Amino acid sequence: MSAPHIDTPTIPSAAPGIPLAKDALLALVRERIEVEPDPSDRWDLTVVVASGRLRDLMRFLRDDPRLRMDVLLDIAGVDYLAFPGHRDARFAVVYLLKSLAFNHRIKVKVRVEEEALEIPSIHDCWKIADWMERECWDQLGIVFKGHPNLKRLLNHHQFVGHPLRKDYPCQKRQKLTVNDPMVDQLQLRLRQLGYTVLSEGEIHAPAVRGGTPGEVVGTGDKGMQDPDLTTGTQVGDMKRSVL
Amino acid sequence: MTFKPVPAPVAAEVSLGDAFITTRVDAFINWGRRNSLWPFPFGTACCAIEFMGVVSSVFDLSRFGSELVRFSPRQADLLIVAGTVTYKQAPVLKRIYEQMPEPKWVISAGACATSGGFYDCYCTVPGIDEIIPVDIYIAGCPPRPEAFIEALVQLQAKIDGEAGKEQKVVGV
Amino acid sequence: MKVLTPKGEQLELLTVNMGPSHPATHGTLRVFCALDGETIVASMCEMGYLHRGFEKMVEQGTYTMVLPYTDRLNYCSAMMNNIGFCKAVEKMFAVTVPERCVVLRVILCELSRIIDHLVCVGANLVDLGALTNFWYFFNPREAVYKIWEKLCGARLTNTVTRIGGFYRDTYPGFEDDVRAVLVQIEGAIKDVRGLIEHNKIFLDRTRDVCVVSKEDAISWGWTGPCLRASGVDHDIRKQEPYYGYDTYAWDTVIGTKGDTYDRIMIRIFEMLESISITRQALDRLKPGPINTNDARLTLPDRNRVYHDMEALINSFKLIYEGVRPPPGECYDATEAANGELGFFIVSDGGTNPYRIKARPPCLTQFAAFGPMTEGTMIADAFGTLGSINIIAGELDR
């Protein structure tokens, strides 16, 4: 009883491809763009590139028929402030790439100075780069120049600072009073899709809860319109007691 | 001055046979409340997965009258906070609690909801009792399903002792 | 919200906020969308409601103390995270774990993959209104948890592996328990397939819904079952085999269309493949050591600790300081239930990790959720959300 359009339930896969060796990969990249291998990666290949050549390198890695690094796996930012004996730039951004065709992997590293916290965005090369760059900015404060919507991804919109920096104390908590209404983001998306926003209407929250306090209509709960109730988290030891 | 003896009250009840039970109003209301708690699972993390196990057939929460999981706070009287609550989530939790009609009870399930657990860092609320009042805390990371059931039984005992006329006051 | 469409018509859009605490958004996801009738015109997603600082917390302790945190990344298949992290650290040390450990890890990985898929498909079908399947799937899942309990005491968050091996060996009768549970899972899969495969409601609500093309899936960085559903033949277990996955007889399952139907069916068929791998691995399970004998990773034998000064020091060092990988930057990935689970570890040669970046498989899938649901009905969008299997723990870390 096979599923209608998975033609056969299982399709034998191709034999594992043979990934290029580290040296061959490096030589191929060096043909086109000036890169240095990073000695701190003893296991696989990391190439260090100047931030000015990053976009060229990424496009080359993605499109070259011998490399075809078509998947951007992750963007990891590192803060070297407390790294023993580190002399280079304070930050680095590491792009993890892999090739589905050849099964080889490469890491691309860009060093970022604390004084000039800016590197070019690659959001137009891979769709996923958009969110990954947002996360990197949120956590480490590295600005991706040319990013269309560089907003926080993990932390809330009232958060100040960048928690994964080594000088951010682990337990420095920051409270949130009201959730992000996100109306501006939706309008941005509508504009990206070619719509023109003429007027902002009401926000409907069916069967819930959360989101946009003070803007909820249609829930039949007058209490929610009361500004005192919608100020969000009041902090303090609230114990239930019986009079 | 003549003295009239008061008739014994027992006789009236006896004459009604088995058709009536006399009790206090509080006891009757509490009996109803404790045996039909409708939980709202505010599940955020691992504990919510364990709560799914609690309501499924092996542990079967319906034996305790609480299988009717409601996803609207207006239809629930038991808020089960299962999982880590972050500062980003905190205003949402508070609003959900406010939207629940009285009487309402809160179970804080697991280490994270109770104290922040081992996530002692910039983004986690160190215990939901900073935001809303809590009736029962469950230990464990995540708590075993038996612990959920034990907490429910304890909550039922607590409800049994409540007096209907007394008002619950929050934040005193 | 009044808008002008690209064609110049005026349109009144209804803006709806779903989540973060909504049954359809599985806990902590928030979707904010503009609707034209029941059709989604534009949708923006927000995450981070379960961001609990995994990457900051792991920098505070030793490498061994990272293990419980990895459990809580994808809590539906905690053991795969443990194994993925241990494998990454073992790569830094360049040690190989003993044969019994490898085979045992394969068994635990595949069983974890099965229970992860059980939860995913079961919950997805509940989203589509089919509650019965959920009960069918949760019974064998409880049986697997019984095995986990016997193995290490915990049901959900196991922390069963250690860097260089395991916390302890299996209990007597482990093989029989696993074989029995596999039969039970096969029965459950048969029951569920019987209920859904020719069910018109199920087919109408999943087929040709939220189709993601091969090119889009790759550009979104998808991995795992969702990528395979879009027709890309890629599985790390096949393409970059580890733990001898290339020596087992099994097939990758690939879809043809990339719709919700494919994403659900892929998981069901993958469970059958995992059952087959587990059976083969059980046949290979021979008695032997489960921990590497590398003194940098494994505690020395207790008898030696009491009689040998060096062993005593080794034991102390390992317990108080933990392992010390050589300085450097290393990335290693395993095929977890959701896709490629990778750990990028920066070591400064000390006892605490300098930086760990987890590569969660479902971040890429949730990033795509907004754009891929534009143009579909809102009810179908939430059927799709179940099929891409978002686990908030690893999404938000």
With respect to residue B101, please indicate whether it lies within any of the assigned structural domains: yes
8 Å CB contact of B142 and C139 = no
Q: What is the mean pLDDT of chain C?
A: 88
Domain A13-164, CATH: 3.30.460.80
B13 has pLDDT over 80: no
Higher pLDDT, C21 or C94: C94
Percent over 90 (pLDDT), chain C: 24
A235 has pLDDT over 50: no
Three-state DSSP state, B52: helix
What pLDDT sits at residue C278? 93
**What percent of chain C is helix, strand and coil (3-state, nearest 5)?**
50, 15, 35
What is the total count of domains within chain B? 1
pLDDT (mean) for C313-339: 89
Structure confidence by residue, pLDDT tens digits, A20-67: 777 888 888 888 888 888 888 888 889 999 888 888 888 888 888 878
Q: How many CB pairs under 8 A join A and B?
A: 102
Judge contact between B83 and B119, C-beta under 8 A: no
Domain boundaries, chain C: 2-46, 54-396
Helices marked H in A44-194:
54-63, 129-140, 183-192
Of B136, B167, B159, nearest in space to B27 by CA: B159
Bridge partners, residue A77, by sequence: A93
Least confident of A103-117, B109-123, C4-18, C330-344: C4-18
Chain C residue with Cα closest to A80: C354
CA-to-CA distance for A171 and A157, rounded, in angstroms?
18
C20 has pLDDT over 70: yes
With respect to residue B10, please indicate whether it lies within any of the assigned structural domains: no
Higher pLDDT, C21 or A43: A43
Which residue is associated with the tokens 């057939």?
B57
- Which range marks the domain in which residue B148 is found? 35-158
Chain C residues lying within 8 Å of A100, measured CB to CB: 218, 232, 234
8 Å CB contact of C57 and B120 = yes
8 Å CB contact of A5 and C197 = no
Helices marked H in chain A:
22-32, 54-63, 129-140, 183-192
Least confident of A110-119, C5-14, C201-210: C5-14
What pLDDT sits at residue C354? 92
Is residue B122 less than 8 Å (CB to CB) from chain A?
yes
A226 has pLDDT over 60: no
Question: What kind of fold does domain C54-396 have according to CATH?
Answer: Cytochrome-c3 Hydrogenase; chain B (1.10.645)
CA-to-CA distance for C300 and C314, rounded, in angstroms?
7
Query: Which of B42, B50, B124 lies at the smallest CB-CB distance from C52?
Result: B124
pLDDT confidence of C144, banded at 50, 70, 90?
A: very high
pLDDT confidence of B159, banded at 50, 70, 90?
A: confident
With respect to residue B165, please indicate whether it lies within any of the assigned structural domains: no
Structure confidence by residue, pLDDT tens digits, B37-78: 889 888 888 888 888 888 888 888 888 888 788 888 888 889
Least confident of A175-189, C185-199, C244-258: A175-189
Structure confidence by residue, pLDDT tens digits, B35-45: 888 898 888 88
Least confident of A110-124, A161-175, B70-84, C3-17: C3-17
Alpha carbon of A66: minimum distance to chain B alpha carbons (Å):
43
Of A98, A91, A87, A112, nearest in space to A45 by CA: A98
Higher pLDDT, B23 or C250: C250
B168 has pLDDT over 60: no
What pLDDT sits at residue A4? 37
Higher pLDDT, A139 or B102: A139
Q: How many CB pairs under 8 A join B and C?
A: 95
CA-to-CA distance for C130 and C133, rounded, in angstroms?
6
Count of CB atoms situated within 10 Å of the CB of C361? 31
Q: Quick one: residue C217, left, alpha or beta (phi over 0 = left, psi -120 to 50 = alpha)?
A: alpha
pLDDT confidence of B103, banded at 50, 70, 90?
A: confident
Structure confidence by residue, pLDDT tens digits, A91-110: 999 999 988 888 888 999 99
Alpha carbon of C173: minimum distance to chain B alpha carbons (Å):
23
Alpha carbon of A80: minimum distance to chain B alpha carbons (Å):
20
Alpha carbon of B1: minimum distance to chain A alpha carbons (Å):
46
pLDDT (mean) for B121-136: 88
Higher pLDDT, A153 or A218: A153
Structure confidence by residue, pLDDT tens digits, C102-119: 999 999 999 999 999 998
pLDDT (mean) for C309-331: 88
Is residue A74 less than 8 Å (CB to CB) from chain C?
yes
Is residue C21 less than 8 Å (CB to CB) from chain B?
yes
pLDDT confidence of B166, banded at 50, 70, 90?
A: low
Buried b (16+ CB within 10 A) or exposed e, A193-223: eebebeeebebbbeebbbbbbebbeebeeee
B3 has pLDDT over 70: no
Percent over 70 (pLDDT), chain B: 84
pLDDT confidence of C147, banded at 50, 70, 90?
A: very high
pLDDT (mean) for A221-228: 36
Chain B residues lying within 8 Å of A209, measured CB to CB: 73, 92, 95-96, 99
* Burial of B29 per CB tally in 10 Å (0-12, 13-18, 19+): middle
Q: What is the CATH number of the domain that holds B108?
A: 3.40.50.12280
Query: Which of A41, A185, A206 lies at the smallest CB-CB distance from C328?
Result: A41
Which pTM was predicted? 0.85
Chain B residues lying within 8 Å of A210, measured CB to CB: 91-92, 95-96
Is residue B121 less than 8 Å (CB to CB) from chain A?
yes
With respect to residue B27, please indicate whether it lies within any of the assigned structural domains: no
Chain B residues lying within 8 Å of C120, measured CB to CB: none
